[in-house]
Structure formats: C-alpha cells, structure tokens
Amino acid sequence: MKLPKRINWREIPVEKVAEGIERQVIVGEKLMRCRLRFAPRIITPEHSHPHEQITLVESGRVLFLLDGEEVVASAGEALYFPPNSRHGATMLDEEVILIDIFAPSAPRPFAG
C-alpha cells in the first residue's frame, strides 16, 4: 500500500511565469494542481486545452471569459472548464490567488 504524500505549499518552488504571475506546481500521476498568484489587472489570453480544469478562487476577484460569456468570481467560488472549452481571465483591482486543478496531468510547463 502506497502512503499519501504530505505536501506544504511553503516547500514548493515559486516560478515566475511572466511579469505579475507566479506559479507553484504539484504533479501527480493523473492530475496537476497549480497555485497561481496574479498582480492586479493581469490578463490571461483566451485559450483552450484538452484537460478538464477546476479553478478555485482563493483570494481576489476575477473576470472570466467562458466560451464567450463573462463571469465574475470571488474568493470561495470555483469554476469548471470542460476539456477544449475556450476561456481566459482578467484580474480585477486586487491581487488574485487561484488554485487550478487539471486532469489528466498536463506536461510541464503548462501556461493554461
């Protein structure tokens, strides 16, 4: 029997993805979890990928574009993105922390 691994975000290296975007990544056998920190007003371009994605808003407010529809999500809310759905995001007027979960795991690095 394989015991679960205990992981602390403080021990995960922080990668600077782009100006105003930092990321920490945990990759399992079939899923990937990212913790992203965005400066205010950062825009992530609209894109799609073959992975299912769940995004949890840990702090801040984000304007998401989901298949052409705008949705504002705040701390404590989550969004589900089916595989191949078009989506993007604009951070509003404060720092934003998101937890993104992808299945199956995406090869690193993954900018989505």
Query: What would the pLDDT profile of 15-73 be if each residue is shown by its tens digit?
Result: 999 999 999 999 888 889 999 999 999 999 999 999 999 999 999 999 999 988 999 99
* Local confidence band at 111 (pLDDT 50, 70, 90 cut-offs): very low
Beta strands in the chain, from DSSP E residues, in sequence order: 15-18, 21-27, 32-38, 43-47, 52-59, 61-66, 69-74, 78-81, 87-91, 96-103
Q: Between residues 21 and 105, which one has the greater pLDDT?
A: 21
d(CA 34, CA 56): 10
88: tokens are 């993007």
Q: Domains of the chain, with CATH numbers?
A: 20-103 (2.60.120.10)
The helix/strand/coil state of 9 is helix
Contact by Cβ (8 Å): 62, 85: no
Token duo for residue 58: 């840990």
Check residue 107 and give its pLDDT.
Answer: 56
* More confident call, 109 vs 93: 93
